[in-house]
Amino acid sequence: MERNSVRVSNTKVRQLTLVGMLSAISIILGATGYGFIPLPMAKITIMHIPVIIGAILEGPKVGMLIGLMFGCFSIIQNIMSPSLLSFAFFNPLVSVLPRVLIGATSYYSYKLIKIKNESVRVAIGAAVGSLTNTVGVLGMIYLLYVERYAQVKNMAIDKATKAIFGIAYTNGILEAIAAVIITVSVVLAVKKIKK
């Protein structure tokens, strides 16, 4: 009985440590600008990858907690350093909800896929988590703020719609590729060390 309570206690400590560490990495990536990879056609983010890694390694609760921290930081960052689109990120439906959902979608797509190859399962979890971020954030901007987005960007609503979906398409694919490459290597390395 005592051994079980020690095991549960150790698990909780490990999970809390992982939440703190991966949340800190996500915040550092955002605060320093290292969380954005500039490419000729787009600027992709990797700040959501710690959420995916935490979810796959320790479960949906851990992933969702890291996502919550990432989302709250997104609001704070937009308050401290406002941009043209900060009005959208002040809304937790845009900045927090999709980031929390990354933890759930990453974990369950990884766990429920019945494939024996661990690398493929982790890759699927990473891709789904990354797409949850892209589609969630840009989808909420479209649903809640397409008119204001059009005003800020000085374009017609139909062009703003195309722009949002164009960003979702371009960034979605590139961010999913980055998430798969980084997550597979980190998760497999950690699991190897655990064994």
**Do 42 and 171 contact (CB within 8 A), yes or no?**
yes
Residue 70 in this model has a pLDDT that exceeds 80: yes
Q: Write down the residue that tokens 């990797």 correspond to.
A: 46
**Do 39 and 174 contact (CB within 8 A), yes or no?**
yes
- Which residue type, as a one-letter code, is found at position 126? A
CA 185 centroid distance within chain: 17
**Domain containing residue 83:** 2-194
In which band, very low, low, confident or very high, does the pLDDT at 87 lie, cut at 50, 70 and 90? very high
In which band, very low, low, confident or very high, does the pLDDT at 8 lie, cut at 50, 70 and 90? low
Mean pLDDT of the region 25-50: 83
Backbone angles phi, psi at 74, to 5 degrees: -60, -40
In which band, very low, low, confident or very high, does the pLDDT at 146 lie, cut at 50, 70 and 90? very high
The structural domain count of the chain equals: 1
Q: What is the pLDDT of residue 4?
A: 58
Assign residue 11 the CATH number of its domain.
1.10.1760.20
Mean pLDDT of the region 59-70: 94
Q: With DSSP H G I counted as helix, E B as strand and the rest as coil, what are the percentages for the chain, rounded to 5?
A: 80, 5, 15
pTM for this model (two decimals): 0.90
Distance CA 93, CA 96 (A): 6
Residue 9 in this model has a pLDDT that exceeds 60: yes
Share of the chain above pLDDT 70, in %: 93
Token pair for 181: 């490459």
In which band, very low, low, confident or very high, does the pLDDT at 11 lie, cut at 50, 70 and 90? confident
The residue with greater pLDDT, 7 or 59, is 59
Residue 6 in this model has a pLDDT that exceeds 60: no
Q: What is the pLDDT of residue 1?
A: 52
Mean pLDDT of the region 23-41: 82
Residue 41 in this model has a pLDDT that exceeds 70: no
